[in-house]
Each structure stands twice: as structure tokens, then as C-alpha cells.
Amino acid sequence: MYAGHALRYSFHDVNTRWEFRSLARRSSAETWDIRATKEQLERTRAVLPEDSRDAFVEFRALIGLTSRELLKYDCCIFHGVSFVWKGAAFLLTAPSGVGKSTQFFNWQRLFPGEIAMICGDMPVLERREDGSVWAHPSPWNGKERLGDRRLCGPVAGIVLLEQGSENSISPLSPHDAITPFFGQFLVRPETEEEIRALARLMDQTLRNVPLYKLVNLGDDASTALLRETLSPLAEGGSP
């Protein structure tokens, strides 16, 4: 289930099901929404470590296919750490290796029990009719496998991370966010309909959710700065 939508998969490898953990249910249905092609599996294998298991390769190949299917429901998988703080969801996004998880772990260590992970790597974002954007869990929750399938929430802030030689945080305009954010939505649309669905989700996200850029050292001070900036948003106020 993703944001309340059930998708049916057909797997090449019987063990792929276990990669989905508790989010998957066995089905006797003979039709499916998503099945990777052999070519897609090979393309995915080419970018993963050589010793990757077949089930893991298939699991990774299904990310983009799942995102495409979810576009039908105004949802898409997004690359970022998502967590809940005081009932609101926040996203930290950046290319891999920039320090998204570091910020989360710093926060947990400095302020124990304050935040909880929705999904450690690739949450599902959902565009709602009331103008909000919600973050939901997905099975792709990073190498630490951090996430809680029971958690979700309205997104109250998104922070684009960059490594730097000092810590600073500033509002990010939609103009400056569009190009990097396109790369963080884990889908490459194949049709005009899919492009327009992704654009609607991005439009609502960039219009209605406060955006920030955190240039940081990944140290405790940068996490304190992040927390201080997001605090009014968690309280339901304006930045």
C-alpha cells in the first residue's frame, strides 16, 4: 500500500517479495500493475554492486515503475529522508552521500524522542485536493532500513542539503528549487499525461510548502540550526 493505494506486483524472483517486508501482501490475483522487464533488470544491475542479489536488483528496478504507477494517483516517490515532528512531516533532500541521514541521526542524538522516521530514503509524496502534500512510507527506506509504516503526515517543510565549509540556512525559491527537485522525484515520465501529473505534484509542493537550503558541515551546530529554522513550521506557524 502506498498512500492508501494498493499496487499489484509480479516478481521474477520469489525472494523479491521479502524486500517489501510488511508493506506487501501475497495475492492470488493473476493480473498485476507492475512487472520489470528483463532489460530493466539488466540496466539496474549495471549500476549496482556486482555481488547484488537478484531479488535486490529487482527491488531497485521497481522504484521508477512504482513511481510511474503512483502518478495516476497524484503520488510519486521522492528521494529524501522524511520524518515527523509534532505531527508535521519534514523532508531533507540531497543527492546520495550529502548527509541527509547524518542530520536525522544528529537530531535524534541531540533531542532524543523528538522526531520519528517515516522513511529513511524514498518516501511517497501525495498531492491532496485541499492543497496539502503528504509524506508516506515506502519499502525503499535506505540501507539502515529506517521507517515506520504507521507514520505519515502533511509536509510542513523541505530542506535541500548542500555540504559547505560553514553552516547557513536560507529560504529557497521555487525558481531555484525546480531543477534540483526534478532530479529528486524518482521517476522519468514517459507520456505527456505523466509529465503533467508530476508537474501538478511539484507545483503544489513548491507553492505550498516552505523550502530551505541548508549549507552545512554535518555537525551538531548545523542540526541545531536546522531544528531552530523548522521549529515554527512544526508548531503550525509561518516561517
Partner 1 sequence: MTVYKGRPGVVLTEIAGEYVLVAAKALKGECPYVMQLNETSAFLWRQLGSGMSLEQLGEAVAEEYEIDDPAAAREAIVDFIRQMVDLHYLVTEELPS
> Site residues (CB under 8 A) for partner 1?
174-175, 178-179, 182, 188-192, 194-196, 198-199, 202-203, 206-207
Give which of 95, 90, 65 is closest to 77, Cα–Cα: 65
Least distance between partner 1 and beta carbon 199 (Å): 4
Least distance between partner 1 and beta carbon 90 (Å): 19
Least distance between partner 1 and beta carbon 160 (Å): 15
Q: Which is nearer to partner 1, 13 or 194 (CB)?
A: 194
Least distance between partner 1 and beta carbon 99 (Å): 24
Is the separation of the CB atoms in 217 and 167 below 8 Å?
Answer: yes
Q: Which is nearer to partner 1, 25 or 207 (CB)?
A: 207
Cα 69 to Cα 63, 65, 100, 166: the distances in Å are 10, 6, 27, 41
The 8-class DSSP code of residue 98 comes to: S
Q: Which is nearer to partner 1, 143 or 175 (CB)?
A: 175
Residues β-bridged to residue 134: 126, 154
Residue 16 one-letter amino acid? T
The whole-angstrom separation of Cα 139 and Cα 20 is 5
Give which of 38, 66, 31 is closest to 185, Cα–Cα: 66
Least distance between partner 1 and beta carbon 194 (Å): 8
Q: Which is nearer to partner 1, 104 or 185 (CB)?
A: 185
CA angle in degrees (0–180, nearest 5) for 109-103-125: 120
Is the separation of the CB atoms in 146 and 108 below 8 Å?
Answer: no
Cell numbers 565549509 correspond to what residue? 165
Least distance between partner 1 and beta carbon 201 (Å): 9
Q: Which is nearer to partner 1, 21 or 43 (CB)?
A: 43
Q: Which is nearer to partner 1, 71 or 152 (CB)?
A: 71
Phi, psi of 101 (to 5 degrees): -65, -35
